[in-house]
Amino acid sequence: MAVLLLAEVTSGELAMDATAKAVTASQALGDVTVLCAGASAAAAGEAAAKIDGVAKVLVAEDASLGHRLAEPTAALIVSLAGDYDHIVAPATTDAKNVMPRVAALLDVMVISDATAVIDADTFERPIYAGNAMQTVKSSDAKKVITFRTATFDAAGEGGSASVETIGAAENPGLSEWVEDKVAASDRPELTSAGVVVSGGRGVGSEEDFKIIEALADKLGAAVGASRAAVDSGYAPNDWQVGQTGKVVAPDLYVAVGISGAIQHLAGMKDSKIIVAINKDEEAPIFQVADFGLVADLFSAVPELTEKLG
């Protein structure tokens, strides 16, 4: 059995963590060929070749593949699909944009956000914001799957797979990239960070989010937020953790001024240790917290930041 894995490539660079986790998830399915596609992707291909368990790397460089536009990327994958039984990717927003399109072009269903591989046809995935886990068995000839990265460990780096350069498929020319607004940050990436500190509506303003950021920096953590904090403009959209934001499972997750709605829990309840700081002792977040502190965040968080010194 052969697996084609769409690597996460952003501006020519391989997102190692997400890609290596998807490699781990695919290991039981067969020989893994990693596809690196982009306006420039050669360096990403070199990096992918080093991931343990990768049998082969395909590099497709073409202007049309820049910015991961869904239509040309899906066309490329479909042109390669004949050789593979499983077509997989880490469940990033890029892959969630592309993979259902690939599936429909192949007349198969997509299996989104799989959290476990039971056998070559059978997968587990969360539904209803993680309030139920469903095992589904596919009757399709080819399986198109995205893997939830938070539940798999990254494969190591010690491999030396061969790298082959391939051409792009014809660009359907349906959409054009205009711009990206990406905030540069020195902090670790939210979905791969070992520690995440998140703030909610309780933080009250963009200005006061600095309290959250200071604690995060003390812990070398990524910063997250609830939807309410993002909607209120305290934090940017890419910080949102939850059913419709990012799913994280760090060693330590600190939730500050977050009530613990199921949609938020869906994004963080698999964290190893959860700390909750909330002034309302009835807040549902305390039901999932290993350590809860009932306190005003404006005094407790700066004190915690200081005492962690």
Q: E strands within 230-290?
A: 252-256, 273-278
Return the structure tokens found at 276: 């909750």
DSSP summary character for residue 246: B
* From 21, 50, 148, 227, residue interacting with ligand FAD (rule: CB under 6 A): 227
Q: From its phi and psi, is residue 89 left (phi > 0), alpha (psi between -120 and 50) or beta?
A: beta
- Among residues 185 and 237, whose Cβ is nearest to ligand FAD? 237
d(CA 247, CA 38): 25
d(CA 258, CA 247): 16
Total binding residues toward ligand FAD, as defined by CB under 6 A: 28
- 146 near ligand FAD, rule: CB under 6 A: no
Residue type at position 57? V
Smallest distance from ligand FAD to CB 224, Å: 9
Phi then psi dihedrals of residue 258, to 5 deg: -120, 130
Q: Is 66 helix (H, G, I), strand (E, B) or coil?
A: helix
Q: Where are the alpha helices (DSSP H) in 7-61?
A: 16-26, 42-49
Smallest distance from other proteins to CB 163, Å: 26
* From 45, 202, 250, 292, residue interacting with ligand FAD (rule: CB under 6 A): 202
* From 188, 200, 250, 292, residue interacting with ligand FAD (rule: CB under 6 A): 200
Residue type at position 36? C
- Among residues 13 and 52, whose Cβ is nearest to other proteins? 13
d(CA 8, CA 18): 7
- Among residues 161 and 188, whose Cβ is nearest to other proteins? 188
- 127 near ligand FAD, rule: CB under 6 A: yes
* From 29, 229, 235, 274, residue interacting with ligand FAD (rule: CB under 6 A): 229
- 216 near ligand FAD, rule: CB under 6 A: no
- 126 near ligand FAD, rule: CB under 6 A: no
Smallest distance from ligand FAD to CB 160, Å: 39
Strands 222-225 and 195-199, sheet pairing: parallel
Smallest distance from ligand FAD to CB 102, Å: 14
Cβ atoms of 126 and 132 within 8 Å: the answer is yes
- 91 near ligand FAD, rule: CB under 6 A: no
- 303 near ligand FAD, rule: CB under 6 A: no
* From 164, 189, 290, 296, residue interacting with ligand FAD (rule: CB under 6 A): 296
Smallest distance from other proteins to CB 63, Å: 15
- Among residues 160 and 299, whose Cβ is nearest to ligand FAD? 299
- 226 near ligand FAD, rule: CB under 6 A: yes
From 26, 36, 81, 32, select the one nearest 62 (Cα to Cα).
36
The dihedral through the CA atoms of 243, 247, 252, 256 has a sign that is negative
- 240 near ligand FAD, rule: CB under 6 A: yes
- The b/e string for 82-108 (b: 16+ C-beta within 10 A; e otherwise) is eebbbbbbbbbebbbebbbbbbeebeb
List residues near ligand FAD by CB under 6 A: 127, 200-202, 226-229, 240-245, 257-259, 261, 263-264, 267, 278-280, 283, 296-298
